[in-house]
A and B are shown apart, each in its own frame.
Chain A
Amino acid sequence: MALTLLRGMRTPISFRSSTGLFFTVLRPRLARFTTRVESAQATEAKAAAKSIQLVTKEAAEQKTQGFEAIIGIETHVQLSTVTKAFCSCPYNYGSQPNTTICPTCMGHPGTLPVLNEKVVECAVKLGLALNCEISMTSKFDRKQYFYPDLPKGYQISQFDIPIAKKGYVDLDLPVEFGGGHRKFGITRVHMEEDAGKLLHSESGSYSQVDLNRAGVPLLEIVSEPDMRTGIEAAEYGAELQRIVRYLGVSNGNMQEGSLRCDVNVSVRPVGQSEFGTKVEIKNMNSFSEINRAIDYEISRQILLHKEGQADQIVQETRLWDESSQKTFTMRKKEGLADYRYFPEPDLPEVVLSTDYIDEISKSLPELPEAKRRRYENMGLSMQDVLFLANDDNVAHFFDSTLEHGADAKLACNWIMGDIAAYLKNEKLSIDETKLTPLELSELIASIKNGTISGKIGKEILVELISKGGTVKGVIEEKDLVQIADPAAIEAMVDKVIADNPKQLEQYRAGKTKLQGFFAGQVMKASKGKANPVLLNKILGEKLNAN
């Protein structure tokens, strides 16, 4: 692996000098990123000086006194193709064990693997999305090892010539973790097949194998060792998840194992150029677990360094245990495994044309990073930007709402507030509700032009999102048009004041807070329809008219 450190934003990197058509496409993008990164750095520094997160950040730095962690991640993404990588077996998560199998994926002699074209397409899509060089010619190799979940005794993978390499990913750290823009290098992306699933019975003297998953296509994404903290690593994983979901190449579901991260962590004294001994961590089922597992592992290693027991850090695989919030030794490595790679003789090389790559390049959707920058340029806060761009469906809904003329900030507030709360409660995704972007834009417009009050707007939203319909329809049906006639409001104010002489007396005796009580009573009398600005203006005049 290349040991060149791409230290994120601190060193804007100039990538490769190779030829090829897609580089001319990439160059302007790259230039833009670099400038942006520099300006982001400046604003980040300014903001951080005042932020409360700085305190936590400093505390974290104190804990790591004199040491720095180096984190690299290998991510396996299961592709959402209909069939397996090298045979026509359909694959569905959760099928009856050992039903989607055939002689090819079972490794029977005399069978011939034939590559699924969709796998190449997914690999090129992801390679381009990760700003990689695409290999016009690549090949498959056999990686040999013996394990019962691997029927052939080897895994078809790509060894020395991966389909994509030398890319990078841009991301923004969450505001609550101090924010900041990061750029992490991607070493390579390669195609390979998954193994089956092994089940170990706790008591039994045997293990069980389900080979449905054997031969399912994977893309392995190897990062440069560019991450320094748990949150950076977790966000790197989250960004890969967003990208594969935006691209539609995988569902990115960690619980189902469609996205799996193996993390390598080492620690070294600041200023030392060699890496410390690296430890691999597995068994993390969410990004927050990745974050906590890494931070635990970093402090474990630093503590050993400080106690002069750095030699206790050995090359091993550790498992994250969620219940105790610790990592435990799973197995120590006895030297490097010898996989005896050699070129897969049953598969021809994978040859791509520039037309093919161009075609795919043109078909790529707007990716998370581009979306975030676009939203940022609309003047939305980073918190808003991250929320909207996090989910492809939400971003799409937001964009459509804007296309119908809605104001960006208002639309964002509705989506992040009432709509998000509803989705969370009902465990729905935004495209599963009855609310349409058009109606949200109508709702916003109706409040803006004074037809309804914001409060009524919230009621209408609940109606729209659960039952559907149109803003106009609900307003008419429920007679919700805002009362903006001063005379009508004045009449209601007069009545409320007349009905509450005691409170009026108290008010005039100096208890001016009671204006809120009166306003509430009038609003109630109007069934929430009174224009609040007008109401308060008239009420104030009346209360103070002596």
Chain B
Amino acid sequence: MLSAAASTIPRLRLATQPPRARIPSARSHWLRPLSSATHVTAPAAAAGAAGSLEPPDLPRLAKAARISLSPQEAEEFEPKIRQLIDWFGQLRVVDLESIEPSLRAGTTAGSSLREDKPETFVNRDAIVEAVPSFDDPYIKVPRVLNKE
């Protein structure tokens, strides 16, 4: 997880190079602090304090990712994730005023669409085998009713 994030940083920098059509609303929508509970954290406020962001709320993150962490594990992860968030904090102080926003990092290569032609996957047995609990012809899961 940490190494993946580290390699993200140089790629994001590269992505800010070629100016393209300006789409104002596209700016920094997804550069939200991971630990923020709402959708409306103002980027300016965060950038004010030298790019520092709210520290991670480990129990909440674990719950969102559907993983259980012991208090000890949570304690171990906390500094690592805080470091990751800090990197995003650093990114936020970069002055992007004169930079055209990019929707994507370097994926503007020609058409990547697929023709609407059916192709049946032949190894269905393998898929079915990989299902933890199969009750032919359905996949069996714990009873769920109206649970968000």
Contacts and interface: CB of A to CB of B under 8 A. Distances in A.
Contact of B127 (A101, A120, A146, A200): A101
A348 to B, nearest CB: 4
Contacts of B135: 206, 208
A117 interface: yes
Contacts of B143: 200, 204-207
Contacts of A147: 144, 147
Contacts of A210: 137-139
A337 to B, nearest CB: 6
Interface string B63-88: 01010000000000000000000000
B113 A209 contact: no
Interface string B112-148: 1111111111001001101000010111111111111
Contacts, number: 138
Interface in B14-52: 21, 23, 25-26, 29-30, 37-39
B107 interface: yes
B37 A338 contact: yes
Contacts of A334: 148
A101 B30 contact: no
A450 interface: no
A59 interface: no
Interface in B81-114: 103-104, 107-109, 112-114
A343 B139 CA distance: 30
A247 B138 CA distance: 35
Interface string A382-424: 0000000000000000000000000000000000000000000
Nearest to B34: A340
Nearest to B142: A206
Interface residues of A, number: 60
A82 B118 CA distance: 7
Contacts of B115: 116-117
Given A101-B121, A161-B25, A204-B143, A348 B138 contact: no
Contacts of B142: 148, 206-207
Contacts of A61: none
A88 B23 contact: no
A279 to B, nearest CB: 16
Given A88-B119, A209-B139, A137 B112 contact: no
Given A98-B139, A114-B114, 11 more contacts: A98-B128, A100-B120, A114-B113, A137-B23, A161-B23, A200-B145, A210-B139, A338-B64, A343-B30, A349-B104, A351-B108
Q: Which 6 A-B pairs have the closest CB atoms?
A: A102-B121, A90-B118, A208-B138, A88-B119, A117-B113, A348-B107
5 contacts: A96-B137, A106-B127, A160-B26, A206-B135, A208-B141
